A and B are shown apart, each in its own frame.
Chain A
Amino acid sequence: MKEPLFSAKNLKLLTGPLNLNNPITVQVLGICSALAVTVQLKPAIVMALSVTVVTGFSNLIISSIRNTIPPRIRIIVQLVVIASLVIIVDQLLKAYVYDVSKKLSVFVGLIITNCIVMGRLEAFAMAEKPWRSFLDGVGNGAGYGLILIAVGFFRELLGSGKLLGLQIIPHFLYEMGYKDNGLMILPPMALITIGIIIWIQRSANRELIDKS
């Protein structure tokens, strides 16, 4: 009997990485770009989408050809697939969202070296069927993106008083002496924000806390 496309087992591939198996807060992968592109919300969203597209489709492609890949050159094959997808994403961004692509600068190219992408290929796509691999890729990309967007939200709100470039903190507060927190727009604060998110997540999910 054929398994339905969105069976409970398949859905778990999508939702697992959002919380209990999150690539950033639990596996602590992909931190570098999470610090760099989260000063504002818009680049964070575009980066989240880009990574999701790359993880999803590289998982799909590798999984579809997994039985033909000679094990001796499998890492090379994986890298070629990832690199091609990233280049395509980068070219598309340059053509259609030029201002954001300038802000993301080298970090789109660096998706190639993002540990999440290759980690999923090695750990999942090389052994699983294409559809399940695709879901796993999208789920991990989304888990990464979720944290990026959360960090970007707080950094832009508290650092510049804006969201997506629109002024959120009202003017009268500035007149009363409120000031944007300059530290929020520097990388250290991204790390601290991620730390706080990890803290909240672990307090809410007891199973994530080490027994020792």
Chain B
Amino acid sequence: MFSNRYIFIYSSIMVTVVAIALTLVAVSLKPTQEANVRIEKMQNILKAINITATPKEAQTLYKKYIVKSYTLKADMTEAPSIDAFSIDLAAETKKANPADRLYPLYIAVLDNGDTSYIFPMRGKGLWGPIWGYVALKNDFNTIYGVMFDHKGETPGLGAEINTDKFQQQFFGKTIFDENGNYTAVKTIKGGAGSSNPHGVDAISGGTITSNGLSAMLEDGFKAYLPFLQKKIKQVKTENIDGGTQI
């Protein structure tokens, strides 16, 4: 028979030993785990400009293509002291006051020399969060590439948002109409047709995820709207100036 005293001492020693062992494991593996998360983020950002990188090449390719990153405050002024890459979008969207949120922006130079602007965004799917990176061409209107992923959408249905087949539909779509009004890009039930510049086919059976994705794109770009409109104006005046010079 074991006495109460024995049981107390036994369990105290047991939890101490276990606690030390687990702490050692957790502390020693932490740098590797954090590197994995960083590399995955790089892969995701590269995917938005249609570059598929293996975990090994991600760091080199990221350095090669992503030439600059900015952190923008909610009023779209720059916050130079904060590294854009270190911003956790999940934490930003949880901030109670929208004016406190930070908006990262990545700038990539593509193989053909064009500049592309990558906007991270985050939204809600059916079962959990969905997120993505959307790259715009240097007209600040046309989508160059997208990358979407999800935490736990239904396989074969909502989870299809992370497939190439779904994402390729977004290429060349525009987020402003001819008059310069903001339209974003929506997923359309029953099919958008290739002529629709602001819509893609929604996923049948994945309505809630599709709607969540539409809302994510709309809210995502809406936050950057002042920045985008300012840039579009700049692009237009540059073109006119260029025209008069010739």
Contact = CB atoms under 8 A, between A and B. Distances in A.
Given A84-B18, A94-B33, A98-B40, A105 B152 contact: yes
Contacts, number: 52
Contacts of B10: 68-70, 73
B25 interface: yes
A87 B22 CA distance: 8
A8 to B, nearest CB: 36
A72 B7 CA distance: 9
Contact of B7 (A70, A80, A88, A186): A70
Interface in B39-65: 40, 55
A172 interface: no
Contacts of B22: 84, 87-88
A113 interface: no
Centre residue among B7, B21, B40, B156 by max chain A CB count within 10 A: B156
A105 B14 CA distance: 28
B153 to A, nearest CB: 13
Tell me the dominant secondary structure on chain B's binding face: helix
Interface string B1-26: 01000110011001100100110011
Contacts of B2: 70-72
A39 to B, nearest CB: 6
B190 interface: no
Contact of B155 (A71, A73, A94, A186): A186
A68 B9 CA distance: 12
A186 B156 CA distance: 8
Nearest to A65: B14
Interface residues of B, number: 22
A153 to B, nearest CB: 17
Contacts of B26: 91
B18 A95 contact: no
Contact of A91 (B15, B25, B40): B25
A72 B156 CA distance: 48
Interface string B146-183: 00000010011000000000000000000000000000
B29 interface: yes
Contacts of A69: 10
Contacts of B21: 84, 88
Given A70-B10, A84-B18, A91 B156 contact: no
Interface in A174-193: 182, 185-186
Contacts of B33: 91, 94-95, 98
A91 B155 contact: no
B36 A94 contact: yes
B244 interface: no
Contacts of A80: 14-15, 18
Nearest to B26: A91
A92 B94 CA distance: 30
Contacts of B156: 182, 185-186
B32 interface: yes
A95 B14 CA distance: 26
A80 B2 CA distance: 19
Contacts of B40: 98
Given A73-B7, A186-B155, A94 B14 contact: no
Contacts of A73: 7, 10-11
A1 interface: no
16 contacts: A68-B10, A70-B2, A70-B10, A72-B2, A73-B7, A77-B14, A84-B18, A88-B25, A91-B25, A94-B33, A95-B29, A96-B32, A98-B40, A105-B152, A185-B156, A186-B155
Interface of B: 2, 6-7, 10-11, 14-15, 18, 21-22, 25-26, 29, 32-33, 36-37, 40, 55, 152, 155-156
Given A88-B21, A98-B33, 8 more contacts: A70-B7, A76-B11, A84-B18, A84-B22, A92-B29, A95-B36, A98-B40, A182-B156
